[in-house]
């Protein structure tokens, strides 16, 4: 067995310069025989759960070893991949992108590869909406879905709100809520579903301004405009806020650890977003990637992710063996579908109008 210390690595490295130059991956000749695949996922608990439960199952099923790559989130990662692609070497084969980021990647061009669905037969299990095609062939296969939910502190809010509209009641929620500061964190979709005509209201600039004006009325009740997920987590734990919007999966996890947080599905519902596996244009792991996406689209894997990571499955519940309780933990109805197209086509207008409202100028 080769002891891997710095000195050895240097020796081996100099001996293998030719090989390394060819494969451009220093230090992997030992496992060159095995098939490998680099897969990105959001860091922290999310990635750890993948490493512990999903990737080993995939390796057991296919013999392909997975190297986990940490993505900070979806949009930051697109910038990283854009720069890496321009530089000619990408840090991962498969990236996990939210739908808006994936559409953006397809519009930027040259970042993600078209997929051959005949090699991914299990993708037929997914609703066609979750297999993204910008017109030149499929670019992303749905991985998992997540909800942004209404959350409350059950010890402070004894009567759970039946509607998002109750958050506008200053006598109950003065300086007590935590909302995302990002214009595209789907609070506009919530407001549109609660007070307007949902996605249709995003069609005109007047509609968008009306939604933003409605959110402005909520400002006296907002104690925290969070930009990082951890800010809202801390604020709920610390009692700085007693309600707001937060991710359903993390909320349920926090609740199961005993923290005072309870996610709720009010009558208008909660926004549902989803992530897709996309293959980097510079990757040559087409075959391995297809096998991974096929594995991930399998109802059994979807159920595994729901149980171990807390994401909602992208296949119908009756295709999985999830119990009602398990399904209720990760999903709910109704689901609000974000106005993705408007967020992209009018992004500068929406961001500036939203930022002006939040800043009060």
Q: Which of 193, 223, 312, 315 binds another protein (CB under 8 A)?
A: 223
CA distance 39 to 272: 23
Residues 159-198 that bind another protein (CB under 8 A): 174-176, 181-182, 184
Contact 249, 310 (CB under 8 A): yes
* Furthest C-alpha separation in the chain: 73
Count the residues in the chain. Answer: 361
Q: 28 vs 75, which CB is nearer to another protein? A: 75
CA-only gyration radius of the chain, Å: 22
Nearest-approach distance from CB 155 to another protein, in angstroms: 11
Residue 134 in the binding site for another protein (CB under 8 A): no
Mask of contacts with another protein, 240-279, x by CB under 8 A? x---------------------------------------
Contact 182, 154 (CB under 8 A): no
* Cα torsion angle, 277, 332, 268, 155, sign: negative
Q: 17 vs 108, which CB is nearer to another protein? A: 108
- Cα-Cα-Cα-Cα torsion 323, 325, 329, 335, nearest 10 degrees, comes to 80
Q: Which of 12, 28, 75, 85 binds another protein (CB under 8 A)?
A: 75
Options 30-38, 124-132, 264-272, 343-351: segment touching another protein (CB under 8 A): 343-351
Nearest-approach distance from CB 16 to another protein, in angstroms: 31
Closest to 231 measured CA to CA, from 250, 218, 214, 216: 250
Residues 90-129 that bind another protein (CB under 8 A): 100-101, 103-104, 107-108
Q: 133 vs 286, which CB is nearer to another protein? A: 133
Options 15-23, 40-48, 119-127, 349-357: segment touching another protein (CB under 8 A): 349-357
Residue 199 in the binding site for another protein (CB under 8 A): no
Q: 235 vs 314, which CB is nearer to another protein? A: 235
Q: 62 vs 182, which CB is nearer to another protein? A: 182
Residue 361 in the binding site for another protein (CB under 8 A): yes
Residue 358 in the binding site for another protein (CB under 8 A): yes
Residue 344 in the binding site for another protein (CB under 8 A): yes
Residue 345 in the binding site for another protein (CB under 8 A): yes
Which residue is it, tokens 């295709």?
Answer: 319
Closest to 17 measured CA to CA, from 27, 4, 2: 27
Q: 33 vs 348, which CB is nearer to another protein? A: 348
Q: Which of 146, 225, 247, 292 binds another protein (CB under 8 A)?
A: 225
Q: Which residues bind another protein (CB under 8 A)?
A: 75-76, 78-79, 82, 100-101, 103-104, 107-108, 156, 174-176, 181-182, 184, 223-225, 227-228, 231, 234, 237-240, 343-349, 351-352, 355-356, 358-361
């Amino acid at each position: 067995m080769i002891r891997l210390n710095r000195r050895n690595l240097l020796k081996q490295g100099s001996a293998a310069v030719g090989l390394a130059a060819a494969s451009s991956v220093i230090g992997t000749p030992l496992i060159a025989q095995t098939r490998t695949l680099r897969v990105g996922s959001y860091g922290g608990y999310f990635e750890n759960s993948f490493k512990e439960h999903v990737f080993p199952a995939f390796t057991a099923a296919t013999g392909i070893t997975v190297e986990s790559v940490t993505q900070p989130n979806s949009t930051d990662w697109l910038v990283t991949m854009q720069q890496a692609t321009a530089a000619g070497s990408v840090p991962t084969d498969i990236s996990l992108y939210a739908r808006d980021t994936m559409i953006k990647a397809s519009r930027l061009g040259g970042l993600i590869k078209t997929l051959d669905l005949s090699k991914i037969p299990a993708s037929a299990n997914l609703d066609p909406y979750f297999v993204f095609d910008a017109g030149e062939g499929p670019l992303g296969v749905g991985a998992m879905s997540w909800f942004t939910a209404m959350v409350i502190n059950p010890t402070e809010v004894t009567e759970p709100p039946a509607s998002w509209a109750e958050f506008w009641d200053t006598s109950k929620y003065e300086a007590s809520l935590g909302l995302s500061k990002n214009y595209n964190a789907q609070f506009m979709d919530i407001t549109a579903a609660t007070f307007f005509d949902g996605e249709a209201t995003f069609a005109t600039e007047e509609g968008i301004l009306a939604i933003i004006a409605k959110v402005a009325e909520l400002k006296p009740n907002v104690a925290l405009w969070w930009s990082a997920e951890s800010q809202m987590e801390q604020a709920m734990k610390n009692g700085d806020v007693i309600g707001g919007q937060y991710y359903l999966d993390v909320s349920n996890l926090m609740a199961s650890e005993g923290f005072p947080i309870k996610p709720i599905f009010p009558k208008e519902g909660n926004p549902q977003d989803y992530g897709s596996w996309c293959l980097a244009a510079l990757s040559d792991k087409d075959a391995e990637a297809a096998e991974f996406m096929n594995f991930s689209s399998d109802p059994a894997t979807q159920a595994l992710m729901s149980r171990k990571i807390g994401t909602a499955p992208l296949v119908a519940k009756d295709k999985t063996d999830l119990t009602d309780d398990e399904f209720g933990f990760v999903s709910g109805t109704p689901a609000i579908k974000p106005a993705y197209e408007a967020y992209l086509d009018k992004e500068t207008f929406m961001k500036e109008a939203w930022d002006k409202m939040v800043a009060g100028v």
